[in-house]
Amino acid sequence: MDNVGQRIEQLTTELNEYNHRYYVLNAPIISDYEFDQLLKELESLEQAHPELAKSNSPTKRVGGDITEKFEKVKHKYPMLSLSNTYNREEIIEWESRVHKGLGAGVDLFSLVEIEYVMELKYDGLAISLTYENGELIRGVTRGDGETGEDITANVRTIRSIPLKLRGNHPGLFEIRGEVFMPKAEFERLNAERLAKGEEPYANPRNTAAGTLKQQDSAEVAKRKLDCFLYYVYADDVAYNNHFDAISHASDWGFKTPPALLRYIEKTTTVDGIMAFIEHWDKARHDLPFDIDGVVVKVNRYAQQEELGLTTKSPRWAIAYKFKAETVSTLLHKITYQVGRTGAITPVANLEPVFLAGTTVKRASLHNADQIEKLDIREDDYVFVEKGGEIIPKVVGVDTTRRTEDSKPHSYITQCPECGTELVRREGEALHYCPNENGCAPQIKGKMEHFISRKAMNIEGMGSETISGLHDQGLLRNAAGIYDLRSEQLLGIEFTVTDEFGENPKKRSMQEKSVNNLMAGIEASKQVPFDRVLFALGIRFVGETVAKKLAKHFKTIDAIASATFDQLIEAEEIGDKIAQSILDWFAIEGNRNILERLRIAGLQLALAEDESAPTSDTLKGLTFVVSGVFQHFSRDSIKASIESNGGKVSGSISKKTSYVLAGDNMGPEKRKKAEELGVKIIDEAEYIQMISGE
Ligand code: IVH
């Protein structure tokens, strides 16, 4: 055992070092393969000896811990925001306020030397990290500034955040920084989504925010978030200013802004501040991550303290926000896009123009109201802006350049794809094409969803194949996939375009890809019922709802014939979902597709072994599951209860037989269980229970 303990420790140290070299210093010293081998070794040792696994093990980087509910944590120091400035005058005003605040009087004014630190204003989310004895013990979001949420499990997956510190660091301290998604990762994620037929995310910031709030840390680990640290709260340290704190933090293993790249700089003058701002206003587009401005901080702690805080922000720091860049260009034509849901988006087709690092040819016009409000017309010169969103938008019209024969734009009334009269639901900004089963982009969208990874996962088929086969009349709906024959596909040509529908390239299907596709289609016939149900694309029936429905009703026929009241009896099925299911089955076209899928041999009922419990050890017992477990994921422990004949419930009541508690069980749940006198058991007791000992 001792040997195992030593090996675990050695692997941990080595992996932490390689990780730091790779993600913080950008200078790897071993190959990914070698890294993975060591990580695998550590993983298997920890699995075999769970008692030796540490909460800050490098294996935590890949996630797996689930946080059911993020606990609220009060910040030791409030997480303030910064006041914003937008021009040189405002910087001068701030700088003189700082001088006044620190000057003993007008005469002494010039004697006070003030050093400023300038940094990038990273466009992400603030995070507070607490370290005790060199170990990361907590990661908390900003929340409302007073209280944030504990997202430690997710934070552990961010590779540039050290789990164990190096060097001579304080015993207990807090460090704050910004978590963000690098541009390349954002683009990779969106390319993946587009290929699966999903809507792309709007911008890296929101995507990072959504990612950090995921309950399953394994999902967070898949998205390569990053973090720069920008403020240290520590006592008894050997430095007296912010700049040195940042450089010490770098020695402790944190990723801090490199001075060599001018991410951080010192100055004592307004000119120095402005030079930094001007440099980054231009150079920001070449950075591998988004910034929305620059932050200027008074360097010395004593001076920071003297200046103090207002209720909202420190007086010793200020943000300078970059303006969204605007250019003017000719709007040639307004066209319309039909989305997968039938939503219509008006698009401005522009004379190509260079803006914020890229050439812009198209911009969003949002909706009919926006066009009317700004009175945007074809052949106008329009102002185009690129803000935080990746898609540029038209923000105004240069009416001085409008020609005399210009006419107001009239919005379309019929679908540009299928000619159906558009509808606009009450209170909604967008027009929709209601022709769900007869409008090409909507049909394609449904099929793309059907084949996607979490649905039927048909290998060898992508959105281009779908689109090509549809346009050539070989595929009209999901059921048609199972009628495809190799002879039809061989040599068939289709066009591949980039995400903007541009740069078309021709491709033809060769024997290998045809075989691959046919094998993918055949394999999908074994996809379990709940995923088939999800693949049907019934509105509001996502992955989880599909699982619940499958478990409750067991067959598609039982769902199809269920009444509204029967539907809402199932766990998590509310009025909205129930109505949507009824609506879906009421459409004859949908029922036809379903019958054809049945003939094709898809799984339209739970497999025997999924529906029948394998033992009745837990018969008559109801469990509430809370916290994180060593040997089970949350889903697998629930499945284990059910396959042993027990029931799982979401909330504790008098009917609950046991609360099954893992690590980090919520305190409210514990309190409730104690109040109602429900017995709390741990994982070991549970395992004993089902093994019948
Ligand atoms: S210092 C008390 N430095 O901007 C001072 N903030 O509006 C705390 N931010 O919520 C902030 N880059 O998330 C600081 N280099 C930087 C920053 C930065 C981005 C964010 C931070 C904060 C917001 C303030």
Residue at a domain's end among 526, 557, 585: 526
Do 494 and 594 share a structural domain?
no
Strands 147-149 and 72-74, by their bridges, are antiparallel
Position 665 scores a pLDDT of 82
Distance from the alpha carbon of residue 178 to the mean position of ligand 1, in angstroms: 7
Is residue 394 classed as helix, strand or coil in its secondary structure?
A: strand
Do 223 and 129 share a structural domain?
yes
Position 105 scores a pLDDT of 47
Q: Atom 6 in ligand 1: which residue has the minimum CA distance?
A: 121
Whether 58 is in a domain gets the answer yes
Alpha helix ranges (H) inside 490-587: 511-524, 529-535, 543-553, 556-560, 564-569, 575-586
Distance from the alpha carbon of residue 68 to the mean position of ligand 1, in angstroms: 29
Position 106 scores a pLDDT of 47
What is the distance between the alpha carbons of residues 86 and 404, in angstroms, rounded to a whole number? 37
CA 56 → CA 40, 52, 220, 297, 337, distances in Å? Answer: 16, 12, 16, 33, 48
Do 655 and 605 share a structural domain?
no
Whether 231 is in a domain gets the answer yes
Q: Atom 21 in ligand 1: which residue has the minimum CA distance?
A: 126
- The pLDDT tens digits of the residues spanning 330-351 come to 999 999 999 888 999 999 999 9
Q: Do 656 and 623 form a contact (C-beta atoms < 8 A)?
A: yes
From 180, 230, 321, mutation site for ligand 1 pocket: most ligand atoms within 8 A of C-beta: 230
- Per-residue HEC secondary structure of 249-291 comes to HHHCCCCCCCHHHCCEEEECCHHHHHHHHHHHHHHHHHCCCCE
Residue at a domain's end among 584, 611, 638: 611
| Nearest Cα to Cα of residue 658 among 645, 642, 647 | 647
Q: In CATH, what number is assigned to the domain containing residue 20?
A: 1.10.287.610
Please give the number of the atom of ligand 1 that sits closest to the Cα of 178: 13
Q: Atom 17 in ligand 1: which residue has the minimum CA distance?
A: 121
Q: Do 157 and 62 form a contact (C-beta atoms < 8 A)?
A: yes
**Which residues have C-beta within 8 Å of that of residue 249, sequence separation ≥ 6?**
175, 229, 232, 256
Question: How many distinct structural domains can be found in the chain?
Answer: 5
Q: Atom 18 in ligand 1: which residue has the minimum CA distance?
A: 121
Do 509 and 459 share a structural domain?
yes
Do 638 and 501 share a structural domain?
no
Tokens at 51, concatenated: 């008692």
Do 592 and 655 share a structural domain?
no
Flag residues of the chain having pLDDT under 50. Answer: 104-107
Please give the number of the atom of ligand 1 that sits closest to the Cα of 123: 19
Distance from the alpha carbon of residue 386 to the mean position of ligand 1, in angstroms: 22
Distance from the alpha carbon of residue 627 to the mean position of ligand 1, in angstroms: 33
Do 13 and 89 share a structural domain?
no
Q: Atom 24 in ligand 1: which residue has the minimum CA distance?
A: 81
Please give the number of the atom of ligand 1 that sits closest to the Cα of 119: 15
What is the distance between the alpha carbons of residues 525 and 596, in angstroms, rounded to a whole number? 13
Q: Do 397 and 405 form a contact (C-beta atoms < 8 A)?
A: no
Please give the number of the atom of ligand 1 that sits closest to the Cα of 317: 5
Distance from the alpha carbon of residue 82 to the mean position of ligand 1, in angstroms: 7
Q: Do 188 and 196 form a contact (C-beta atoms < 8 A)?
A: no
From 75, 81, 180, mutation site for ligand 1 pocket: most ligand atoms within 8 A of C-beta: 81
Q: Atom 13 in ligand 1: which residue has the minimum CA distance?
A: 126
Whether 561 is in a domain gets the answer yes
Do 236 and 142 share a structural domain?
yes
Domain boundaries, position 212: 84-265+287-317
DSSP secondary structure, 630-693, as one string: SS--HHHHHHHHHHTT-EEESS--TT--EEEE-BT--HHHHHHHHHHTPEEEEHHHHHHHHTT-
Question: How many other CB atoms sit within 10 Å of the CB of residue 28?
Answer: 14
Number of residues that this document lists for the chain? 693
Whether 347 is in a domain gets the answer no
- The DSSP element (H or E) to which 199 belongs, if any, is none
Please give the number of the atom of ligand 1 that sits closest to the Cα of 121: 12
Q: In CATH, what number is assigned to the domain containing residue 552?
A: 1.10.150.20
Do 261 and 217 share a structural domain?
yes
Whether 414 is in a domain gets the answer no
Q: Do 348 and 380 form a contact (C-beta atoms < 8 A)?
A: no
Position 202 scores a pLDDT of 82
User: DSSP label at 537?
Assistant: T
Distance from the alpha carbon of residue 87 to the mean position of ligand 1, in angstroms: 19
How does 115-133 read in b/e, with b if 16+ C-beta sit within 10 Å? bbbbbbbbbbbbbbbbbee
| Half-sphere exposure of residue 553: CA atoms within 13 angstroms, side-chain side | 26
Distance from the alpha carbon of residue 205 to the mean position of ligand 1, in angstroms: 14
Position 643 scores a pLDDT of 82
Is the Cα dihedral 125, 128, 133, 136 positive or negative? negative
Distance from the alpha carbon of residue 140 to the mean position of ligand 1, in angstroms: 15
Distance from the alpha carbon of residue 63 to the mean position of ligand 1, in angstroms: 27
Do 238 and 313 share a structural domain?
yes
Residue at a domain's end among 569, 590, 611: 611
DSSP secondary structure, 306-333, as one string: HH-B-SSSBTTEEEEEPPPEEEEEEEEE
| Nearest Cα to Cα of residue 450 among 196, 201, 199, 200 | 196
Do 635 and 538 share a structural domain?
no
Whether 384 is in a domain gets the answer no
Do 193 and 291 share a structural domain?
yes
Tokens at 470, concatenated: 């549809």
Q: Atom 9 in ligand 1: which residue has the minimum CA distance?
A: 121
| Residues in the ligand 1 pocket, defined by CB under 6 Å | 80-82, 119, 121-122, 126, 142, 178, 230-231, 295, 314, 317, 319
Whether 164 is in a domain gets the answer yes
From 116, 295, 309, mutation site for ligand 1 pocket: most ligand atoms within 8 A of C-beta: 295
Please give the number of the atom of ligand 1 that sits closest to the Cα of 231: 1
Q: In CATH, what number is assigned to the domain containing residue 637?
A: 3.40.50.10190
Please give the number of the atom of ligand 1 that sits closest to the Cα of 125: 13
Whether 395 is in a domain gets the answer no
Instruction: Catalogue the active-site residues.
Output: 121
560: phi then psi, degrees, rounded to nearest 5? -60, -35
Q: Atom 12 in ligand 1: which residue has the minimum CA distance?
A: 121
